[in-house]
Amino acid sequence: MKWPFLSMARRLERLAPPARFPVDMVLDTDTYNEVDDQFALCYSLLSPDRVNLRAVYAAPYLNNRSVSPEDGMLKSYDEIVRLLGKAGAKADGLVFRGSRNYLRDENTPVESEAARDLIARAMARPDDKPLYVAAIACITDVASALLMEPELVNKIVVVWLAGHEFSWPDTREFNMMQDNAASRVVLDSGVPLVLVPCMGVASHMLSTVYELDACIGGKNALCDALCELFKAYSGDHYGWAKEIWDISAVAWVMHPEWAPTELVPAPWLSTADRYSFDNSRHLIRVVRRLDRTRIFRDMFTRLSDAENIIKTMR
Question: What does each C-alpha distance from 184 to 140, 144, 254, 274 come to in angstroms?
Answer: 10, 12, 27, 12
**Quick check: is 130 in a domain?**
yes
Does a structural domain hold residue 6? no
Tens digits of per-residue pLDDT, 122-167?
999 999 999 999 999 999 999 999 999 999 999 999 999 999 999 9
Give the count of domains, the chain.
Answer: 1
pTM strictly above 0.85: yes
| CA separation for the pair 261, 284 (Å, rounded) | 10
Would you give the DSSP letter of residue 155? T
> Does 2 reside within a domain?
no
pLDDT digits (tens, 9 = 90+) for 12-27: 999 999 999 999 999 9
Q: Which amino acid is residue 227, in one-letter code?
A: C
Mean pLDDT of the chain: 97
Residue range 203-231: mean pLDDT, rounded: 97
- Residue among 80, 44, 42, 41 at smallest CA distance from 223: 42
pLDDT for res 1: 79
User: What letter would DSSP give residue 105?
Assistant: S
Question: Model confidence over 296-308: pLDDT tens digits?
Answer: 999 999 999 999 9
Would you say 242 and 212 are in contact if contact means Cβ atoms under 8 Å apart?
Answer: no
Does a structural domain hold residue 64? yes
Instruction: Kindly tell me if the per-residue pLDDT of 228 is higher than 90.
Output: yes
Is residue 16 one of the residues assigned to a domain?
Answer: no
Those residues with Cβ within 8 angstroms of residue 166's Cβ, 6 or more apart along the chain or in another chain:
197, 264, 267, 275, 277, 286
Q: Phi, psi at residue 264, to the nearest 5°?
A: -140, 160
| Bridge partners of residue 156, in order along the sequence | 131
Q: What are phi and psi of 197, to 5 degrees?
A: -70, 150
> What is the C-alpha to C-alpha distance for residues 306 and 304, in angstroms, rounded to an integer?
6
**Any idea what DSSP says for residue 248?**
H
Indicate whether 196 belongs to any domain. yes
Q: Which of 133, 150, 50 is closest to 98 using CA atoms?
A: 133
- Interaxial angle between packed helices 247-254 and 292-304, expressed in degrees from 0 to 180 and rounded to the nearest 10: 90
Q: What is the mean pLDDT of residues 237-242?
A: 95
Asked if residue 11 is part of any domain, the answer here is: no
Confidence class for position 271, pLDDT limits 50, 70, 90: confident
Nearest to 59 by CA among 26, 31, 34, 93: 31
Paired residues of 285 in beta bridges: 194, 263
- The 10s digit of each residue's pLDDT in 25-45 is 999 999 999 999 999 999 999
| Mean pLDDT to the nearest integer, 275-291 | 97
How sure is the predictor about 70, in pLDDT bands with cuts at 50, 70 and 90? very high
Sign of CA dihedral 4, 103, 32, 116: positive
- CA atoms within a 13 Å half-sphere pointing along the CA-CB vector of 159: 28
In degrees and rounded to multiples of 5, residue 265 shows phi and psi of -65, 140
State how far the Cα of 60 lies from the Cα of 75, in Å rounded to an integer: 9
Kindly state whether residue 206 falls inside one of the protein's structural domains. yes
Q: How far apart are CA 244 and CA 36, in angstroms?
A: 5
Q: How far apart are CA 265 and CA 261, in angstroms?
A: 13
SS3 54: strand
CATH number at residue 153: 3.90.245.10
Query: Which structural domain, as residue segments, surrounds residue 154?
Result: 21-313
